[in-house]
């Protein structure tokens, strides 16, 4: 049995899962359902029940940054050099800390 093919297929499924999670977490469903209520050219909306296209893209990119940090930290297990491993951990933690700070600030701005 060729395990390399199975691992490649799992990685494809994993990436599709991560992409679907990012799209859902960024509020794509909220944007699609609230689309008739908000003009497409608006950047932000004062209504927290609906989301604009700009907000959806912005939150997608912020969540992508957080997922990138997790992947950098996970990449440490596949590296052999300690120096690169330290860079991966430092970069991943930096991305995660920035993600937490930005999401906290957005939460305080919207709900605070």
Structural domain boundaries of the chain? Answer: 3-111
- Residue 55, C-beta contacts closer than 8 angstroms, at least 6 positions apart: 27, 31, 43, 44, 45
| pLDDT, position 98 | 96
The DSSP secondary-structure symbol of 112 reads -
- Quick one: how many helices (H) and strands (E) in the chain? 4, 0
DSSP sequence for 19-54 = HHHHHHHTTHHHHHHHGGGS-TT-S--S-TTS--HH
Structure confidence by residue, pLDDT tens digits, 13-69:
777 888 888 888 888 887 777 766 767 677 776 666 677 788 888 889 999 999 999
Structure confidence by residue, pLDDT tens digits, 76-112:
888 888 888 999 999 999 999 999 999 999 888 776 6
**Residue 17 contacts residue 25 (beta carbons within 8 Å):** no
């Amino acid at each position: 049995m060729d395990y390399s093919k199975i691992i490649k297929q799992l990685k494809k499924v994993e990436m599709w899962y991560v992409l679907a999670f990012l799209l859902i977490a960024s509020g794509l469903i909220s944007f699609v359902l609230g689309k008739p209520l908000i003009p497409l050219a608006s950047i932000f909306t004062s209504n927290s029940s609906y989301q604009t296209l700009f907000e959806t893209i912005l939150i997608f990119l912020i969540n992508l940054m957080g997922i990138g940090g997790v992947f950098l930290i996970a990449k440490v297990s596949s590296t052999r050099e300690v120096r690169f491993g330290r860079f991966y951990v430092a970069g991943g933690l930096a991305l995660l800390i920035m993600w937490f700070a930005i999401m906290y600030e957005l939460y305080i701005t919207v709900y605070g």
